[in-house]
A and B are shown apart, each in its own frame.
Chain A
Amino acid sequence: MPRRVVDRLVLPLAGSLTTYLVLVGGGIVYATVGNSASDGLVTQMLINAVVVLGMQIYIGNTGVLSFGHIGFGAIAGYAFAIFAISPERKAEQIPDAPFGLAAVDLTPFQSSMVAGLIAVVVAFVIGLGLARSGARSGAVAATVITLALLFVVHEVARNWIDLTRGGKTGLSFSPLGGVTLQGRGWIYLALFLALLSARLFKETSIGRLAQAAREDDLAARSMGIHPALQQMVALLLSVFVVSIGATLRVFELGSINPRLFFFKYTLLTLTMLIVGGRNSVTGCLVGVVIITTGSELTRYLAGPSVDLPFLNWLLRSGLTDVFLGASMLGFMIFRPDGVLGDWEPDHWMARRSVGKFTDQPLEHSPVGGLRPEGLLRATGVVVDFGGFRALNGVDLTASSNEVVGLIGPNGAGKTTLLNTITSLVTPSSGSIHLDENSLDGLPSHLVARAGVVRTFQNLRLFPALSVQENIEVARLAAAGRVVGCSQPDVEFVIRASGLSELRHRRAGELDYGNARRLELARAAAAAPRFLLLDEPTSGMGDLESEQMIHRIRDIAGLVQAGVVVVDHDLNFITGICDRVYVLDQGKVIAEGTPDEVSQNPVVQAAYLGGPIDSST
């Protein structure tokens, strides 16, 4: 079996199954030994687990803090109740329900599916709004939009009396109230499917691209990833799972009112998600268990059966909420990634089985096909930062079969030129062309897709992803867009950049030199027409720079990409470049082969401060 299938399908499945059996088994054992209360507790815990898994799919993979998921839960919960409650009961409670809903009679299963779909439709609209607002990890606008959803749904539920019967009483299934869901069969099934969806989503291409954007939005965009699509898919799947959990919760309780899905439940589920580790599917289940246990423990301690006079100040009603708040705060301060971080049991299995799958030799040539020569042109680029003119009419041409260097003193505008080409900076005038196509005004992810990919002066990897995943993500982002040759094999790129041994390490754990190599490898895996490298040797010693020269030449040759490289180090630049541009104070002051340029008196003056001969 190919290693990829094992890593991304078989082991995650095995790991999830183990987690599932442990959780459900433990629940059953506890429910059997305990009393009737513990039976209800286990049921609630498993339902909460479904909801929290649903939240993990969105919050975990995208890093966007959503307060709206319980709002979606409220929508699904109400939809479920309105569809599933028998027409006779509805005639008593909501006789004036709009859209003829009073007469609708669906089975609970049908109702929960319809409820889930309704919530998904609402989520689609909200998702468009989130995308428009530029949602990304930690974005405040996205959090406020989702918070608004939670509030608005709550207000509507309280005020649309005809449909929801308002806030005081809510809707209930049977006149006497009481539990309607018999047995836990449906819950076991829902939990199993929720767990599989969450765990496998993490391994899908969509999940990976979303995680890359979560780790570093800017780097993701300059690899050609525009995370809106991935975030939308994550949101829809996540809302569907949350909705199913919500309908189970309503059915189990036999009633719904606006308070059931509001701040309190949001606090509970978010704390569960965060305590276990929001980036880990297994972690969020661990969080569910910890918080359920802790809540029950505090409830018991604060109850009448415990009487410790010297602790009376602490053991009183309300302790459970203090426990939740304190857990949330405590984990954010001391362990913000939760108990498990992003660890999954199959990671452990993968490491154990590394030896069993020997590296297969690479038979075919890594990249087939010969790419036509490409031309990257910048003409008359002017960039102003406020009153400061950083670039003043710069022209630059690079062909895809050469290495072009950009040198110049600090503040000469080298990085600004790269930023302008990759559309991170908008020029005041001037234009950028790749072959015949203008790149002006394209957002940076489209520039990357057109074939111009860059690295950053201050290293921007996806720190929580492994070395291999960093490279895979870049390859995925470019899949289907590479013209003229086949995409390089991930395996080949890993080996060509000497990262074989480190493939399962997180990028964030690499030392500086390897991190630089990975950034180069990641950029190359996208098979760009042009690689723009911003100070690839900064902070390196002479020997390392020397090696970097060969590595860049090899890897650029591999994907037949042209290179534009910015650096301070003259030896490095002369060693690697076919042609060099010298920038000073926003202007090109010289251009030519490294030898020509280093003989040029103007350049010598700019670099060494020698006298300028006005005749040259």
Chain B
Amino acid sequence: MTELLQQLVDGFGRGGIYALIALGIAVIFGVMHLVNFAHGELITVSAYAAYGLFVAGLDWWIIAPAIVLVAGLTSVAIEFVAFRWVRGAPDFTMLMTSFGVHFLVQAAFVMYVSANFRQFPRPGWIFQTWKLGGISLEVFDLLVILLTLLTLGITYWVLQRTMFGMSLRAAAEDFDAARLMGIRSDRIIRGAFALSGLLAGVAAVFWLMRSGQAGPTAGLSPMLKGVLAALIGGLGSLTGAVMGGVILGLAEVLLISRLPESLVGLTDGIVFLLIALLFVFRPQGLVTVRRAERV
């Protein structure tokens, strides 16, 4: 029982990070119908920013907000350089464009920094645990859960209560109709990318505090997890994306603790396999968003 509780906290901690990434992917999908396989590059860029700031001698308290900002700006920049040109293009083109960005950013880091991972110190407190009765909980997990909830709360407020949020939701429902109602598409798309970048930035802070390294492929794993979570959540749905993230996090933790020793190295492979099976049987994800095509 206590073990399960510990795993749940661990799972929610992981899942929270995935949820933030997935939500960003879902927001972009909503306004552009693009599945952004380049979303992980925001975390790669953040990782290098963190590394750079460390070398400059700064502390996590300054680095964390800086990372969030960097991720937001990078997201807008990527939209400006690449995605702006393929708005409304066929799905195949958009998919390939996002893979193109993904590969290009990776290659640029290999070229200008190094193919090797660079280490930077992790904050000392992240491994501290709290003993509560028979269970010991990682402070970090609790912090992640708390801050994720806070971030989601703020995002929810932005989406529900601000003019920008309402236009964004309107655009996600029906982009053309929203445009005809006078919502400026440029601004909405740029705003969506900024929002999704900031969310990825928050996720990056947590991710990097734990991994403590920067490398050209640093964003690959979080990107895959985020895309999968968003897909589990049904892509178009923002709530679905958050749920997908939590489900994925919990599934991973529960799977790792139950796999025999010899298969633990295959965890990612097995998770991927299970998700592939999910898409075979429920290609629209678990949370189905009905989108009627007009004919």
A→B interface (CB under 8 Å)? 63, 65, 129-130, 132-134, 137-141, 143-145, 148-149, 151-152, 154-156, 158-159, 218, 267, 270, 274, 316-319, 321-322, 324-326, 328-330, 332-334, 336, 385, 415, 419, 424, 456-458, 460
Contacts and interface: CB of A to CB of B under 8 A. Distances in A.
A461 to B, nearest CB: 14
Point out which of A158, A325, A415 has the most chain B C-beta atoms below 10 A from its C-beta. Answer: A325
Q: Which of B101, B108, B111 has the most CB of A within 10 A?
A: B111
A424 B90 contact: no
Contact of A317 (B97, B111, B231): B111
Contact of B276 (A139, A144, A218, A267): A144
B279 A318 contact: no
Contacts of B268: 151, 155
Contact of A322 (B92, B101, B111): B111
B92 A63 contact: yes
Nearest to A336: B93
Interface string B58-99: 000000000000000000000000100110011111111101
Given A144-B228, A148-B272, A332-B100, A325 B279 contact: no
Which of A154, A155, A332 counts the most chain B CB atoms within 10 A? A332
A329 B101 contact: yes
Given A148-B276, A159-B265, A138 B90 contact: yes
Contacts of A460: 295
Interface of B: 35, 82, 85-86, 89-97, 99-101, 103-108, 110-112, 115, 227-228, 231, 235, 265-266, 268-269, 272-273, 275-277, 279-281, 283-284, 292-295
Contact of A328 (B103, B111, B115, B265): B103
A325 B100 contact: yes
B196 to A, nearest CB: 17
B97 A140 contact: no
Nearest to B262: A159
A137 B293 CA distance: 16
11 contacts: A129-B280, A137-B92, A139-B91, A141-B279, A152-B273, A218-B295, A321-B106, A329-B82, A329-B104, A332-B86, A334-B85
A42 B185 CA distance: 48
A144 B279 contact: yes
Contact of B92 (A65, A159, A419): A65
A321 B103 contact: yes
B266 A148 contact: no
A159 B270 CA distance: 13
A155 B93 CA distance: 29
Given A133-B280, A140-B235, A336-B92, 7 more contacts: A132-B281, A148-B273, A156-B269, A274-B96, A318-B115, A322-B107, A330-B100
A332 to B, nearest CB: 4
A321 B107 contact: yes
B198 to A, nearest CB: 24
A137 B91 contact: yes
Contacts of B266: 155-156, 159
Contacts of B100: 325-326, 328-330, 332
B91 A332 contact: no
B295 A152 contact: no
A534 B86 CA distance: 31
Contact of B104 (A133, A325, A419): A325
Nearest to B115: A318
Contacts of B275: 144, 148
B89 A336 contact: yes
A130 B281 CA distance: 10
B85 A333 contact: yes
A156 B99 CA distance: 24
A140 B231 contact: yes
B82 A333 contact: yes
B111 A316 contact: yes
Contact of A329 (B97, B265, B284): B97
Contact of A456 (B107, B272, B283, B295): B295
Nearest to A321: B107
A130 B104 CA distance: 29
Contact of A144 (B86, B103, B231): B231
Contacts of B105: 325
Contacts of A333: 82, 85-86, 97
Given A144-B276, A333-B97, A325 B103 contact: yes
Q: Which of B92, B228, B235, B273 has most chain A Cβ within 10 Å?
A: B92
Contact of A318 (B99, B103, B111, B281): B111
B155 to A, nearest CB: 23
Given A138-B92, A144-B228, A333-B82, A155 B269 contact: yes
Contacts of A151: 268-269, 272
A332 B97 contact: yes
Contacts of A321: 103, 106-107, 110-111
Contacts of B106: 321, 325
* B91, B115, B276: residue with the most chain A Cβ atoms closer than 10 Å: B276
B263 to A, nearest CB: 8
Contacts of B35: 140
B292 to A, nearest CB: 8
A158 B115 CA distance: 20
Contact of B95 (A65, A325, A329, A415): A65
A456 B294 CA distance: 10
Most buried by A among B86, B104, B112, B265: B104
B95 A138 contact: yes
Nearest to B113: A318
A81 to B, nearest CB: 21
Given A140-B231, A326-B104, A133 B283 contact: yes
Contacts of A132: 280-281, 283
A424 B95 CA distance: 27
Nearest to B290: A386
Chain A to chain B: the 6 pairs with minimum beta-carbon distance, closest first: A138-B91, A318-B111, A325-B104, A329-B100, A155-B269, A321-B107
Contacts of A322: 104, 107-108, 111
Given A159-B266, A332-B86, A419 B231 contact: no
A53 B106 CA distance: 27
A424 B272 contact: no
A134 B281 CA distance: 10
Contacts of B89: 336
A137 B96 CA distance: 12
Nearest to A328: B100
A328 B96 contact: yes
A415 B294 CA distance: 10
A328 B105 CA distance: 12
A145 B295 contact: no
Nearest to B92: A138
A326 B111 CA distance: 13
A225 B290 CA distance: 24
A391 to B, nearest CB: 15
Contacts of A274: 96
A149 B266 CA distance: 13
Contact of A457 (B82, B85, B97, B295): B295
A332 B93 contact: yes
Contact of A325 (B107, B231, B292): B107
Contacts of B228: 144
Nearest to B273: A152
A330 B85 CA distance: 10
A145 B279 contact: yes
A130 B279 CA distance: 9
A139 B90 CA distance: 11
A65 B90 CA distance: 12
